[in-house]
Amino acid sequence: MAKQAPESPEAAKTRKLRELREADEAQRRAQGIWGTYSVAEIAHPDSKSLFVLRCRGRDAPDLAKEARTRSALVSAEDHQALVVWIAKRPFAEFRSRLVAWNLSDAEAKRIFKSHIDTAREKGTTVVNPAPAPAAPAPEETPTPAA
C-alpha cells in the first residue's frame, strides 16, 4: 500500500471551507430556507439612497435591464419608483450587489423587508415605496334592542 502525501495547508483550508459550506447548505435545506431566490440592492452612494429587490439567481442586478423591464418579483409601484429614481442620475453612479442568495421565497421576503427596515432606521433613503398602513377595522355600531 502506497503512502499518501500529507495534505498541503492550502488544500486543507479549501477542504475545510467546502465542508463548512456543504454543512451550511444542508442545514438551510433542512430548515426550508434554501432556494433559488436572492435579495439585492441598487445603491446611489452620493445621495445615500437605495432600492431593494428580490430576484432569482446569484447575479447582481443589471441596472439597464431593471429599468427597461419589470421582473415578476417587483411590484408595479416599486418598479415605477425605481425607474423615476434611476432617470435622475447616470447609470455609472449606481452600485448593485447581492445582500443574500440561495433563499426560499419566504426567506427572501423576510430578508427583503428586514433590509429595507434596517436601511430606514440608519437614515438611508429607501426608494421602495413604504407599505400603506393597514386600514382600521370598521367599528360596529350597537344595534338598538328591540
Q: How many helices (H) and strands (E) does the chain have?
A: 4, 4
Q: Is residue 114 part of a domain?
A: yes
d(CA 18, CA 41): 27
Number of domains composing the chain = 1
pLDDT at residue 143 tops 70: no
Sequence-separated contacts (24+) of 56-60 with Cβ below 8 Å = 58/98, 58/101, 58/102, 60/96, 60/97, 60/98
Q: Is residue 107 part of a domain?
A: yes
Each residue of 36-68: pLDDT tens digit?
A: 889 999 999 999 999 999 988 888 888 888 888
Q: Is residue 13 part of a domain?
A: no
Q: Is residue 8 part of a domain?
A: no
Q: Is residue 94 part of a domain?
A: yes
Q: Is residue 132 part of a domain?
A: no
User: Could you tell me the residue range of the domain that residue 67 belongs to?
Assistant: 31-126
Can you give the pLDDT at residue 26?
Answer: 83
Each residue of 66-86: pLDDT tens digit?
A: 888 888 888 889 999 999 999
Each residue of 90-141: pLDDT tens digit?
A: 888 999 999 998 888 888 999 999 999 999 999 999 999 887 555 554 555 5
Q: Is residue 92 part of a domain?
A: yes
Q: All 3 cell numbers of residue 42?
A: 441598487
Q: What's the whole-number average pLDDT of the chain? A: 85
Q: All 3 cell numbers of residue 27?
A: 442545514
Q: What angle do CA 47, 53, 59 make, to 5 degrees?
A: 100
pTM: 0.68
